[in-house]
Amino acid sequence: MHNQNPTEATAMTEPNPEQQSRQEAGAPAPLAAAAEQPPAPRRDRDVGELELRGLRAFYGGNEAVKGIDLPFKANDVTAIIGPSGCGKSTMVRCINRMHEEIAGARAEGEVLLDGLDLYDSRIDIVAVRRAVGMVFQKPNPFPTMSVLDNVTAGLRLTGASRGEMDDRARQALVGAGLWEEVKNRLKSPGVGLSGGQQQRLCIARALAVEPEVLLMDEPCSALDPVATLKIEELIAELKQRVTIVIVTHNMQQAARVADTTVFMLDGELVEVGPTEKLFTTPDDDRTEQYVTGKFG
């Protein structure tokens, strides 16, 4: 994976060249400067291509995902919709290999990130989790940590220096649209924030390790409409930087945020297409019935 993506690989181990030149230029407060500008698109269009090939997922003998082939375009937001229990969460959890954390669960098939199979035996699971970030249904900041420590929690492994970590944390908080709200309370507990802020904190935590793909498993289901709107606006900005896959129960949300929408039923992929087409002129009868509220 790193071979395919040299910029990402170096970013994890060495100081970012961009960052370095900024410091050499003698900018008085590079951190503050970074904080005030909106995050720039930081990668080429062709990095972050994700593709599922013949993906099957099992819980013991029960097959939850039944052979899915599906490409995800880089810098696109793809929404996965479908009724409860259709396997959409399971499928997404196969992408960062969280599925196999459950006892008795396993997956078959390939998950290709920029052409490299994430299930390849040469790939460490830690590297998979850094390349593919995840945001969960309920905001889950670490309760013993401050706002800042929450964001840097995933960075500590890399041996980054304190200053470097703070810098990345600030960029991540800016990226998650949370910087202005928390810049004066970075040291206070993360769980002291509101629900919506906590979820954006979790997004910042995932962004801090600079993943190529961001998985969001019903990220707004525990939030009020205002907080939901903020997250949706954020998703639109973040797609410049990461490939986003969002599982949602809410069809309006899919229609608002997604470029491509995927409809799943009983572990199978029923239809995939541009969001507008899927919601207005779907090819499959089952899709039409679902998006028009006949079942689900």
Partner 1 sequence: MADGSHALLLDRGNLKRRNRVNRVVEIGSSIGAVIAVAVLVIVVGSVVLKGAGALSWHFLTTPSGLFGDTSGGMANALVGTLVIVAIAAAIAIPVGILVAIYTTEFASSRFAHPIGFVLDVLNGVPTIITGIFVYGLLVAGNKPSGFAGSVALAIVMLPIVARTAQEVLTLVPATLKEAAHALGIARWRTILRITVPTAAGGLITGSLLAVARAAGETAPLLLCNFIFAQGVLTDPGEGLASIPLFIFQSSESPSPEAHTQAWAAALVLIAFVLVLNVVARAFYARSRKRMGA
Residues that bind partner 1 (CB under 8 A): 96, 98, 101, 103, 125-130, 133-134, 136, 138, 140, 142-144, 153-154, 157, 191, 202, 205-206, 209
Tokens of 190: 């993360």
State the minimum distance, in angstroms, from the CB of residue 134 to partner 1: 4
Of 123 and 229, CB closest to partner 1: 123
Tokens of 123: 């790939």
State the minimum distance, in angstroms, from the CB of residue 225 to partner 1: 23
State the minimum distance, in angstroms, from the CB of residue 158 to partner 1: 10
State the minimum distance, in angstroms, from the CB of residue 288 to partner 1: 35
Of 30 and 192, CB closest to partner 1: 192
Of 152 and 248, CB closest to partner 1: 152
State the minimum distance, in angstroms, from the CB of residue 293 to partner 1: 31
C-alpha atoms less than 13 angstroms from C-alpha of 114 in its C-beta half-sphere: 21
**Which positions ≥6 away from 251 have C-beta within 8 Å?**
81, 279, 291
Of 31 and 123, CB closest to partner 1: 123
Of 134 and 176, CB closest to partner 1: 134
- Given a contact cutoff of 8 angstroms between Cβ atoms, the answer to whether 292 and 286 are in contact is no
Q: Which helix (H) or strand (E) element contains residue 90?
A: helix 88-95
**Which positions ≥6 away from 241 have C-beta within 8 Å?**
39, 41, 42, 43, 175, 207
Tokens of 215: 């998985």
